[in-house]
Structure 1
């Protein structure tokens, strides 16, 4: 039986090639109280379509495929 985090990472791995194709990437940070926290990397970090990518892409897929997920939030890159 997979943990919730493993289920989330599996779904994110399905999405990553599409994001990488446009010069970006994402990484799983944590899952806490129904919220998945991800960090956007590369071209995604300052992309104008980032909100759409997260809400209509990443969040929609996670809500559909992983029970217990209620939202996806972006964690800012730390310098």
Structure 2
């Protein structure tokens, strides 16, 4: 049995548990959204509010990445209007 075990620090273990809890919270939110949609519409939704999932997972926005994406979008739209 010892061959299937690893050793990690208490801090790493705490991070793993926190990540697992966030994931389970997000899964519960998704399931709840599907349940509500089925009750209201008779089928699951094909989209879920991303802010809800971001909040559940503790998402922190990467402003640099988004700024670059917005810049690419603006450039694309400018080329399309030329």
Q: Which band: TM-score by shorter chain? A: 0.3 to 0.5
Q: By percentage of residues, which structure has more helix? A: 2
Larger Rg computed on CA atoms: 2
Q: Which has the larger strand fraction?
A: 1
Report the TM-score, using the length of structure 1 for normalisation.
0.36
Larger relative CO (CA 8 A, sep 6+): 1 or 2? 1
